[in-house]
Structure 1
């Protein structure tokens, strides 16, 4: 898997919407650009980024700054922040693709994307996150819902032709199924979510069988909190995996926004296994 070049942390970059298009009915790609984006790492596909949106009360977009000691200073009109994924960055064009799952037009992030016109501004900080995102192994498992499809798409594009992998993606509707570029030894399974069933992805992972030649396994799991925890439990039981080979991160929790879920999410991420 690709190991990104380390970059010095910096404050958020102010960028603008350059283009937008729907990949599926619920997956919207926003392409951003701008002079401040120049120098963004070219090897960052799949990495985590933070997005900054206008303050909900004032409507102003004021970005935090980082001093020489690395301390972050927040403005009076604190922006709304959300964690997202780099889908792709094209250095020559200075264009960054960010995929948004559409769930209404009033939320700070999804709503911004749905309503964004060309020239609409936001802030981007990063990239960051684990490096590499998926540990090297001769057999790999990937599981997610639509929120982590951008990361999975990037990971699949980085795999060699000799790589063996199985991918399980849970969606509310098969209308959101779309072609993912991947090597010939990779199989992608699309599952229609059974509402209220948080074990569906875990059961799917339990059916995966390694090739006869496999001697090691690594896993990437991301998506809704309960589903991720169920998958993590299943994989630890099946393969005895630890964090070194099992990256399981909840992106969101049903019924909670990112502000309410933030602390619990980080507690889960910090757990030892």
Structure 2
């Protein structure tokens, strides 16, 4: 087994609303100057103490640090800067002391991001490379919800000028759409809403004009499975031209989602 790479120490140098429902935090650190431009669109691990803060220097016996995975949205190697985007959302949980349902801003990462201020420190692991697929197909399907917009943006940047196909993205509001420049042959489909089924329904209703199709799909678990099954049922999945990943699952914590993803991967004995 390869030894784990040491964590990188970073400092918050900016935090602002990128869109009405996306918060951007800009991190800087000397160790980030070691990155390469191909790390843009790769993933990092944000490191948290189980209590929610970012000081993991004195974990108690039996405590494990919490890691949350995010995509590098912008990268400035010369100045050792990366930008990380966080979807703003509220989630319900039960306050057992008061026996009521209350709203909070979600998990470790988004709670930290919404409160992050200049000078705050956080350790990160990585980066790791986002999986690439062969986009030299007659038709492309690029599918994402809000959580996967940074990764999708990196894929769009890499498209060839003559690429043909469809970009399907689910947004909380019209104002959340990134400033993408798509090849002329790529059609943009915006799905406005919160339900994962809205995204999968949109994808299913788009006609597949060719048998040679490349698919990049990253979104909520149930939507991803529905989309994957649709393409599989029509014999349109080519392993080297297909990527399906769930970034979260509705109603489930990230740790629970990891277990579900593992079980799903183990069950893919014939698919892909």
Question: Is TM > 0.5 for Structure 1 vs Structure 2?
Answer: yes
Aligned match of 1:137: 136
RMSD (Å), alpha carbons: 2.8
CA distance in 2, matches of 1:143, 1:217: 13
Distance 1:170 1:131, change over 3 A: closer
1:127-206 correspondence to structure 2 within 5 Å: 127-132=127-132, 134-138=133-137, 139-193=139-193, 195=195, 198-206=196-204
| SS of structure 2 residue aligned to 1:208 | coil
Question: In the TM superposition, what whole-angstrom CA distance separates every residue of 1:161-195 from its partner, at most 9, and x where no partner exists?
Answer: 11123111112333323422332222221112264
Conserved 8 A contact 1:21-1:28? yes
**Structure 2 counterpart of 1:218, from 214, 217, 228:** 214
CA distance in 2, matches of 1:244, 1:81: 29
Aligned match of 2:95: none
| SS of structure 1 residue aligned to 2:227 | helix
Q: Which moved more, 1:28-37 or 1:170-179?
A: 170-179
Aligned match of 1:67: none
CA distance in 2, matches of 1:63, 1:11: 13
CA distance in 1, matches of 2:28, 2:54: 20
| SS of structure 2 residue aligned to 1:37 | helix
Q: Does 1:95 align with 2:81?
A: yes
CA distance in 1, matches of 2:206, 2:106: 39
1:120 to partner: Cα distance: 1.4
Q: Which runs of 5+ in 1 are unaligned?
A: 1-7, 65-73
Aligned match of 1:259: 255
Aligned match of 1:14: 9
Q: Does 1:46 align with 2:41?
A: yes
Conserved 8 A contact 1:62-1:75? no
Conserved 8 A contact 1:44-1:88? no
Aligned match of 1:246: 242
Aligned match of 1:113: 113
1:152 to partner: Cα distance: 0.6
Aligned match of 2:68: 82
1:46 to partner: Cα distance: 2.0
Conserved 8 A contact 2:25-2:113? yes
**Structure 1 counterpart of 2:56, from 45, 53, 62:** 62
Distance 1:137 1:239, change over 3 A: farther
Q: Which moved more, 1:48-57 or 1:258-267?
A: 48-57
| SS of structure 1 residue aligned to 2:206 | coil
CA distance in 1, matches of 2:265, 2:74: 25
| SS of structure 2 residue aligned to 1:261 | helix
Q: Which runs of 4+ in 1 moved over 6 A?
A: none
CA distance in 1, matches of 2:123, 2:248: 21
1:229 to partner: Cα distance: 0.6
CA distance in 2, matches of 1:95, 1:17: 10
* TM-score, normalising length: structure 2: 0.82
Q: Does 1:25 align with 2:24?
A: no
Aligned residues: 253
Q: Which runs of 5+ in 2 are unaligned?
A: 91-104
